[in-house]
């Protein structure tokens, strides 16, 4: 029995020793209880370092972006570069077009064309050539006296220069006509700083009132302030017509009662213009038939009154209807004596075959044609150009 107990005790000792050996071996390997790295351990043991807090800065809130606006901006193409040349071309196209003499003098040119054609078709200059030229000029209303003087001058030049070609004769004719029409000052007289007065005279129906309206438009476009004086008080429609023009072009208007003294109305217009600072007074005058002595006396009175301060008469424009032909020359003589005419406005030149009246006025009276009417619109009243006029008649 004792033997069995000793055997069991020995077995237990052996088993305990084995178990202790296994446990000590696992601890030496450090699998379960491996210590942390040295620096980590140091950090864990060191006291915490205080951290300075960054100052708080107020940051503005970003604006809210409108995504639709962004899309529109991105989708909208950049405007094309401005073509300055194209802009200038368009402005020129929209500007009022000055009428060409060549386009508006068809009737006068047609009347002369048969005579000019007959002369150019000849192989030499003979008496028949001179007869055709003389007849054509007279029929164009150049006038007998002016035509005779012109033919004599041309004959002398042809002989002196040995001209034999009819075409050369026509060139000499045009040069002579241009030379005659170029005499005199064709500029409308204007004195800066003064209350300029332009008296407009002529018989009823010649286009005085309409001419004043067109003149006002031109002068206002040139930067001047204009006052109209309705001095034709014997024709009720004249005042109404001027009132319409004044409203259209932006001019001031002074009217009197029907039948009032024309000189008084015009002087009131001058005083009103001076008070308002107007540069120019366009004065309409009575236009009854020039054969009546009282009309001429009235014009003399108007001229005297208009010269009183603050007014200064710088132009007296005689309006003549080109269709009247030589009757216009008779009118010019009468008005020139009464009102000291400084220039002629020839209206309705586009509708007349009697353009030769221009030469008659220049030759007989020495009064320059300053303006001509080449149509019905306000822009058809233009400066008279002798060279362009002559070329339009013969070519």
Write the burial class of residue 11 (CB in 10 Å: 0-12 exposed, 13-18 middle, 19+ buried). Answer: exposed
Residue 74 lies in a domain: no
* Six token digits for residue 295: 């009309």
Answer whether 259's CB lies under 8 Å from 283's CB.
no
pLDDT recorded at residue 350: 85
pLDDT recorded at residue 91: 47
Residue 190 lies in a domain: no
pLDDT recorded at residue 343: 94
Q: Closest by alpha carbon to 368, among 172, 190, 189?
A: 189
Residue tagged 């001027």 (tokens):
242
Residue 352 lies in a domain: no
Q: Closest by alpha carbon to 211, among 62, 372, 50?
A: 372
Residue 350 lies in a domain: no
Q: How far apart are CA 318 and CA 380, in angstroms?
A: 18
Measured CA distances, 354 to 73, 107, 350, 380 (Å): 67, 8, 10, 19
Beta carbons within 10 angstroms of residue 25's beta carbon:
9
Domain count along the chain: 1
Residue 77 lies in a domain: no
pLDDT recorded at residue 20: 52
pLDDT recorded at residue 75: 57
pLDDT recorded at residue 241: 93
Q: How far apart are CA 328 and CA 205, in angstroms?
A: 12
Write the burial class of residue 388 (CB in 10 Å: 0-12 exposed, 13-18 middle, 19+ buried). Answer: middle
pLDDT recorded at residue 313: 97
Buried b (16+ CB within 10 A) or exposed e, 334-370: bbbebbebbbbbbbbbbbbbbbbbbbbbbbeeebbbb
Residue 369 lies in a domain: no
* Six token digits for residue 289: 């038939």
Distance of CA 239 to the CA centre of its chain: 29
pLDDT recorded at residue 16: 59
From first to last of its 395 residues, the chain has per-residue pLDDT tens of 555 566 656 656 565 555 455 445 444 444 443 444 444 444 444 445 454 554 554 555 555 656 665 465 455 555 556 567 655 544 444 445 678 888 888 888 888 888 889 999 999 999 999 999 999 999 888 888 889 999 999 999 999 999 999 999 999 999 999 998 988 889 999 999 999 999 999 988 899 999 999 999 999 999 999 999 999 988 878 999 999 999 999 999 999 988 899 999 999 999 999 999 999 999 999 887 555 558 889 999 999 999 999 999 999 999 999 888 777 788 788 888 888 999 999 999 888 777 788 888 888 888 999 999 998 888 999 999 999 999 998 87
Residues of the chain by 3-state class (helix, strand, coil), percent to 5: 55, 10, 35
Residue 106 lies in a domain: no
* Six token digits for residue 141: 């209303």
pLDDT recorded at residue 1: 55
Q: Closest by alpha carbon to 286, among 260, 262, 317?
A: 262
Answer whether 73's CB lies under 8 Å from 66's CB.
no
Rounded to 5°, the CA angle 177-181-184 comes to 150
- pTM score above 0.75: no
* Six token digits for residue 392: 């339009």
- What pairing do the DSSP bridges indicate for beta strands 252-254 and 343-347? unpaired
Q: Closest by alpha carbon to 282, among 353, 221, 349, 210?
A: 210
- In terms of residues, how long is the chain? 395
Q: Closest by alpha carbon to 363, among 150, 151, 203?
A: 150
Q: How far apart are CA 235 and CA 157, in angstroms?
A: 51
Answer whether 208's CB lies under 8 Å from 284's CB.
yes
Q: What is the CATH number of the domain that holds 298?
A: 3.40.50.300
Residue 384 lies in a domain: no
- Domain housing 226: 195-341
Q: Closest by alpha carbon to 115, among 100, 99, 135?
A: 135
Q: Closest by alpha carbon to 345, among 378, 366, 327, 367?
A: 367
Q: How far apart are CA 319 and CA 244, in angstroms?
A: 20
Answer whether 276's CB lies under 8 Å from 225's CB.
yes
């Amino acid at each position: 029995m004792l033997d069995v107990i000793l055997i069991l005790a020995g077995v237990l000792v052996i088993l305990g020793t084995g178990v202790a050996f296994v446990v000590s071996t696992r601890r030496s390997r450090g699998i379960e209880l491996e210590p942390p790295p040295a620096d980590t351990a140091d950090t864990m043991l060191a006291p915490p370092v205080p951290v300075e807090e960054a100052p708080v800065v107020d940051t503005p809130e970003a604006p809210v972006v409108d995504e639709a606006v962004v899309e529109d901006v991105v989708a909208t193409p950049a405007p094309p570069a401005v073509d300055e040349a194209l802009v200038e071309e368009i402005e020129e196209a929209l500007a009022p077009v000055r009428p060409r003499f060549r386009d508006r003098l068809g009737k006068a040119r047609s009347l002369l064309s048969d005579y000019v054609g007959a002369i150019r078709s000849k192989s030499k200059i003979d008496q028949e050539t001179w007869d055709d030229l003389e007849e054509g000029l007279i029929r164009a209303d150049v006038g007998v006296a002016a035509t005779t003087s012109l033919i004599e001058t041309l004959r002398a030049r042809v002989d002196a220069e040995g001209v034999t070609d009819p075409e050369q004769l026509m060139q000499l004719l045009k040069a002579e006509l241009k030379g005659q029409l170029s005499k005199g000052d064709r500029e409308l007289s204007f004195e800066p700083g003064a209350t300029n007065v332009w008296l407009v005279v002529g018989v009823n129906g010649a286009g005085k009132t309409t001419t004043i309206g067109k003149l006002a438009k031109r002068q206002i476009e040139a930067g001047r302030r204009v006052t109209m004086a309705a001095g034709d008080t014997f024709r009720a429609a004249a005042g109404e017509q001027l009132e319409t023009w004044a409203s259209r072009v932006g001019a001031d208007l002074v009217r009197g009662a029907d039948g009032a003294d024309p000189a008084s109305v015009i002087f009131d217009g001058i005083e009103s213009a001076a008070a308002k600072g107007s540069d120019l007074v366009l004065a309409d005058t009575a236009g009854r038939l020039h054969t009546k002595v009282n009309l001429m006396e009235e014009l003399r009175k108007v001229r005297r009154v208009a010269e009183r301060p603050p007014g200064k008469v710088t132009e007296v424009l005689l309006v003549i209807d080109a269709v009247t032909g030589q009757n216009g020359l008779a009118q010019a003589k009468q008005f020139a004596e009464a009102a000291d005419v400084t220039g002629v406005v020839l209206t309705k030149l586009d509708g007349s075959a009697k353009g030769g009246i221009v030469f008659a006025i220049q030759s007989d009276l020495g009064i320059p044609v300053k303006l001509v009417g080449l149509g019905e619109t306000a822009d058809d009243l233009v400066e008279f150009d002798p060279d362009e006029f002559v070329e339009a008649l013969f070519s």
